[in-house]
Amino acid sequence: MQNNIFSGLFVGQNFVTLKEVDSTNNFLKDLVSNSKPLMEGTVIMAENQFAGRGQQQNGWFTEPGKNLTFSLLLKPHFLDIADQFDLVRVISLGVFDALEPLAGKKLKIKWPNDIYYDDHKLGGILIENLIQAGQIRNSIIGIGINVNQERFPEILPDAISLRQILHQDYDLKTLIAEICRNIEAWYLNLKAAKILNVRNTYLSRLYWLNEKRSFKSQKGIFKGIIKNVKDNGLLIVEDNNQQQVEFSLKQIEFQK
């Protein structure tokens, strides 16, 4: 479908909206595997997802019609598999840059790719890479942003919406267009090999960077300081013995 809300070169130029779907990531994945080649930058947005998926096998629950739930197709053939975390970085930065003018200084990226306002989760990202012959053929990038939801159920004590921050509704189409514009800009930066800019900017936006905080690992609760993120995406936390320890997502929890 042609449209005029997206100002970029390719992200959003093929834009499909669905009334209801299980998950936009599932829908886009099926489309990629069942149809003729799909244009890079295709965006599938749903008014309602009845089986939205989050990271680590969690669900993604949102009130129908109130929030952004969409998936975007990228084909980062230029990216080494070893550098796939750079895709996490550019997507997080794109979402961050679209929201920061609205939400302000309290907006952060919680490693690896949650969008946080203060100590609350404003949005999440689920990237599923389809790898073939040692190359990322297709990347399905699912993005959920809490926009106009007024309250959240008790099972989501950490969630916050843009409406709760701004005290007014925000237009979903305007926001998705801004997110897509910013993702495209960061993605093109990465493609142009501006990798250091991508990595340094991502690091500078991190929640709890250089702050002494509580974490939980296999060894129990400990105080530590986030110092860096390795090229491959592992989090580097300095513990009480000044040791720099590396963690994958499953190995560490932030203790708020």
User: Considering CB under 6 A, how many residues would be counted as binding ligand BTN?
Assistant: 20
Q: Identify which range of 1-9, 46-54, 211-219, 236-244 contacts ligand BTN by CB under 6 A.
A: 46-54
| Member of 88, 125, 177, 179 binding ligand BTN (CB under 6 A) | 125
According to the binding rule CB under 6 A, does residue 23 interact with ligand BTN?
A: yes
148 contact partners, CB below 8 Å, separation of at least 6: 66, 67, 161, 162, 163, 169, 170, 172
Tell me the C-alpha distance between 239 and 89, whole Å.
25
The secondary structure of residue 230, as a DSSP letter, is: -
Candidate residues 126, 179, 180, 183; the one interacting with ligand BTN per rule CB under 6 A:
126
User: Looking at 65-73, 152-160, 162-170, 238-246, which segment touches ligand BTN (CB under 6 A)?
Assistant: 65-73
Is residue 94 involved in binding ligand BTN (CB under 6 A)? no
Residue 112 in contact with ligand BTN, rule: CB under 6 A:
no
Q: Which residue is nearest to ligand BTN (CB)?
A: 124
Torsion of CA 45, 50, 54, 59, to 10 degrees: 170
Exposed, middle or buried, 129 (CB in 10 Å: 0-12/13-18/19+)? middle
Choices 2-10, 69-77, 100-108, 172-180 (CB under 6 A): range interacting with ligand BTN = 69-77
Q: Is 60 in the site for ligand BTN (CB under 6 A)?
A: yes
Burial letters for 113-127: b for 16+ Cβ neighbours within 10 Å, e otherwise? bbbbbeebbbbbbbb
Residue 16 or 195: which CB sits closer to ligand BTN?
A: 16
Task: Give 247's strand partners.
Answer: 235
Tokens 């409406």 correspond to 163
Interaction site with ligand BTN (CB under 6 A): 23-25, 49, 52-55, 58, 60, 69-71, 114, 124-126, 142-144
